[in-house]
Amino acid sequence: MTYKFEQLDVWERALDYIDHIHKIADRLPEHERYNLGDQMTRAANSIALNIAEGSTGQSDAEQDRFLRIAVRSLLETVACLHLVKRREYLDDLDPLRAAYEESETLFAKLQAFRSSLDRSSGVEESPIEYTDGAPF
């Protein structure tokens, strides 16, 4: 048996993004591993978990609600990337750039998935538009 979410490209992308975030969190200074590091990894995990939770046995409106939570968790991880950069926790910014680029792709896929749902039975939230380009 395969669960519905296991067949979703956006879920696979979320797993890849989680890997990026965990690698960054593992490189943080000791004093931030249990603060910022945990916050980053919990938020990243939340993306995939909300995609999975919203995918099974839910109405489109309910699935959209979980996808909105996933988007918010994604944005939380992006904010954490900015904190890592601002505090100069990494000498090599390539991991931040790679994670940021993956976040843009994942964000677009989440928004496209939301747009594909029939949300006529629920409250609709306008899609969020962002510009491309890593700040790192």
Cα angle: 39, vertex 43, 49; to 5 degrees: 140
CB-based contacts of 111-119 (< 8 A; 24+ apart in sequence) = 111/71, 113/8, 113/10, 113/67, 114/64, 114/67, 114/68, 114/71, 117/60, 117/61, 117/63, 117/64, 117/67, 118/60, 119/60, 119/61, 119/64
pLDDT of residue 59: 87
Cβ atoms < 10 Å from Cβ of 74: 23
Domain ranges of the chain: 9-116
Model confidence pLDDT, tens digit, residues 60-90: 889 999 999 999 999 999 999 999 999 999 9
- Domain with residues 9-116, CATH architecture: Up-down Bundle (1.20)
Q: Which residues of the chain have pLDDT under 70?
A: 57, 119-131
